[in-house]
Structure 1
């Protein structure tokens, strides 16, 4: 990737890099290129690269711009070798094009790979395989308004109608009598793709009056200054704006926080990805990905403002709709900030779940908890009858129990709760995927 990297330097920056190379002991240099999502590339990816390089040699890591907006060069050492890493954050789709063209080692994306992208890369790598698809963090798509706005929550349906221009005045949703102004990410953004998929769907189209942004932070800053504004951004870019609680169907309205986002119960939670070219991935990029997915990398994820995948035990606030039977079942337990999720009617664990199994096993070992302290509770998406829902929920819990047993975590108690306590709309793909889950509960420490 060296020629691609150097081509991005201005003349002055290139001279500075040459001077640095001549003054340094290492003769050879390695390069790492990360292209794609602004959500990931603005802050998180540079922090991860810095943590990775600092841990390799214990030497300071320098940062500089390339002369292009939303691009950074990080320079450090690995063993006795200089490393230059480029982070170019121009949108998730640009990252795929760079990976496909061989101009990037890693594609940073705030959405999953599209079927067309999977097909295009099929000759080189399977983007859906564990060797290529890496969930690096969980983000909550925060719906933002001015701090003085009296509105505190909206349903996804109402939010869609607002951004489609069908609801144009705040007074129609319990706010002041003033016209609503819309702020949205641009078309190259994975944040926009997520909003379009989870909120607008196939029914609504964004109102053309919406102001569009390449940057999450700039969008949030402008919304925070506009009493009539509403926008959406990644959770790490809330800044001075007010965050609304969001409801999906009959499920309770939730604000994005550590538990609701990490467990993906929050309706607008999303996974952040890094994609690589499977077995063709360079060694440096492979080692970087392993660092990102590990405990130290996930600690940096948390520090950056996103939600780490390192499990934590939390005592959740159960709402008034929670059945008494469930309250009694979990009375002496705390919930881990991880859910094992399944597609509709299925019991096969996805790529994130494969990593989470190891994280749960490591958490239990670190906290000295026995398998007697753990309870797995399975849930089903909406089914035609209660018996089928109960069977699916129990099979899902059993599949997680078996997978943990394969990792040396002995027999764990499990139960199924059918299709009760949904966290999303039963009739949509995203709701079904969030309802079909296994929660992990541990006895209070």
Structure 2
């Protein structure tokens, strides 16, 4: 009889363990390599609060995130650039969760500390190829860019006028001689390991391994992005289909722009939206 009671108790506990009340909803997030570190911190903090969700994040790039949100293959997409006209649709909603500067960075041993926007544009077009032409050493400039799916690259090209028109189509004007880095972290490592390299990364990820250049006299700081003097900046967007979000997903969206999450964004070096 005792064994029967114990067996029944174990069976009851097993049944309770798989009830819907204890199951966690998965929220799938796909998109920007630059915005994903902030969204990952948001997700970890939110889940640690005891919310009944598991947030799964993949970061193949902004373009992939926009597509995933539009076709419904992910609950949320993330982009680190504004959407192009052809990417917009009436049922695709955009939520700005933070803003971010794009820092143009060089190796800490590089004596150049400031460039004009025009000089940076000409470096990436391949018209300026030696550091001596911008006040540095007589050494070739190693320009490093991001892959074409990168939202950071898309925003950088738009801001720095690095687009040209060919047969009626706008294409990148970045020199084909520029090295391509797959990801924010990979680009930063490349610049940190080469004294003659130049690249661009999220302002929120700048650390002591690289030196952020002032542009047109304005230092790359959060305050200067806010006051408009540092103009190389872009939004971090979360995208979702109107009316298609679950209750838990909508609560996560609301939380990301509330005070707790925005305080985290500010501490991480991003520009808050409230």
- Gaps of at least 5 residues in structure 2 are 1-15, 165-171
User: Greater relative contact order (Cα 8 A, min sep 6): structure 1 or 2?
Assistant: 2
Q: Counterparts of 1:45-444 in structure 2 under 5 Å?
A: 45-55=39-49, 57=50, 77-78=51-52, 83-118=53-88, 121-122=89-90, 125=91, 127=92, 132-203=93-164, 205-239=173-207, 240-247=209-216, 253-309=217-273, 359=274
Mapped partners of 2:241, 2:192: distance in 1: 40
Secondary structure at the aligned position of 1:280 is classed as coil
Residue 54 of structure 1 deviates from its aligned partner by: 2.2
Quote how far apart the aligned CAs of 1:231 are: 0.4
Aligned partners of 1:262 and 1:308 also within 8 Å: no
Asked if structure 2 preserves the Cα contact closer than 8 Å seen for 1:38 and 1:214, the reply is: no
Q: Contact (CA 8 Å) 1:39, 1:191: kept in 2 or not?
A: yes
Please give the secondary structure, in 2, of the residue aligned with 1:270. Answer: strand
Deviations 1:405-435 (A, max 9, x none): xxxxxxxxxxxxxxxxxxxxxxxxxxxxxxx
Q: Does 1:40 align with 2:35?
A: yes
Cα offset, 1:193, TM superposition = 0.1
Give the gaps of 5 or more residues in structure 1.
1-21, 58-76, 248-252, 310-358, 360-445
Q: Deviations over 1:286-325 (max 9, x none)?
A: 111111101101112123332323xxxxxxxxxxxxxxxx
Q: Which residue of 2 aligns with 1:29?
A: 24
Partners of 2:184 and 2:126 in 1: CA distance: 22
TM-score (norm 1): 0.54
Name the SS for the 1:297 alignment partner. Answer: helix
Contact kept in structure 1, 2:47 and 2:54, CA below 8 Å: no
- Structure-1 residue corresponding to 2:4: none
In the alignment, the residues of structure 2 paired with residue 264 and residue 291 of structure 1 have an alpha-carbon distance, to the nearest angstrom, of 27
Following superposition, the deviation at residue 173 of structure 1 comes to: 0.4
Residue 272 of structure 1: CA displacement?
1.1
Question: What is the SS of the residue equivalent to 2:235?
Answer: strand
Q: In 2, Cα distance between the equivalents of 1:262 and 1:283?
A: 33
Deviation at 1:236, TM superposition (A): 2.1
Deviations 1:44-70 (CA, angstroms, capped at 9, x unpaired): 111101122223x2xxxxxxxxxxxxx
CA contact (8 A) 1:264 1:270 kept: no
Instruction: Render the CA deviation track for 1:235-263: whole Å, top value 9, x for unaligned.
Output: 1222210010012xxxxx21121211234
Q: Cα 1:245–1:302, aligned 2, differ >3 Å: closer, same or farther?
A: same
Aligned length: 251
Change (3 A) 1:49 1:223: same
Q: CA RMSD of the aligned region, Å?
A: 2.0
Q: Deviations over 1:197-235 (max 9, x none)?
A: 111333571111211122112211210221110000101
TM-score by length of 2: 0.86
Shift of 1:24: 6.9
Determine the structure 2 residue equivalent to 1:418.
none
Deviation, structure 1 residue 275: 1.4
SS, match of residue 93 in structure 1: helix
